[in-house]
Amino acid sequence: MRDPRSIVITGASSGIGAALAGLYAAPGMALALTGRDPARLEEVAERCRRAGASVTAGLVDAADREAMASWLTAVDAATPVDLVIANAGISAGTGGGVESEAQARRILSVNIDGVLNSIHPLLPAMRARRRGQIALMASQAGFRGLPGAPAYCASKAAVRVYGEALRGDLAAEGIGVSVICPGFVKSRMTAVNRFPMPFLVETDAAARTIKRGLERNAARIGFPWPMAAAVWLLALLPPGWTDAALTRAPKKG
């Protein structure tokens, strides 16, 4: 969508979400932002207001289905939503051990249920208007299961495939769907990584790439291209060829 005027961004208190909010902030723009940290969320909201945007900020847990539905319904009633960017997500690794059940369930809940909770309350109104756009935050990690981050990889694979399928279902109703697949992007999430992150992208550059992709309704917004190419090749190779190397690779803590 080239000219959205009402945008919802979840996970907007830091990282890519905050950068996207700042990039879209402008006079005449209505932004609805969610996040988990009240101080950081208000800082982002105030920065967007200074840029001329009208901002609604909500401390809503993306994994809370009822809270998200209530908040999003109110937002859409006030300013019909053109674009929702389901960006909220969490990440954690095994630290070289085995992922706990509790951690796996939390990651899957936030990263998958959070996406569903962010888009489905808005879909009926978008379908009735026959206009809108949905962007789902997946990852390059969603193309191959990587030792050290099983739940994270699984959650992003689910988001990617769900979005790709949803795109085909909603196209005839005037609703665009894009799946965003970043590599390593500077953020609070990647700051805890204690291993080399090839082709690390600055947050603002990532936001600009995403915005350009959404403007042309790209099916998949994957970047940076060297990482995307490497992951594509890795996903094509038989696991028996790559398991040994991946098992020896540094693990997310």
Annotated catalytic residues are: 152
User: Token pair for residue 16?
Assistant: 């890519």
Q: How far apart are CA 253 and CA 93, in angstroms?
A: 5
Instruction: Count the helices and strands in the chain (H runs, E runs).
Output: 10, 7
78 closest CA partner among 125, 27, 42, 138: 125
**Chain CA centroid to CA 66, Å:** 20
Q: 86 - beta bridge partners?
A: 136
**Contacts of 60 by beta carbon, 8 Å cutoff, 6+ apart:** 34, 67, 68, 71
For residue 79, what is the DSSP state?
Answer: S
For residue 142, what is the DSSP state?
Answer: G
Query: Which helix (H) or strand (E) segment is 12 a member of?
Result: none
3-state DSSP assignment of residue 93: coil
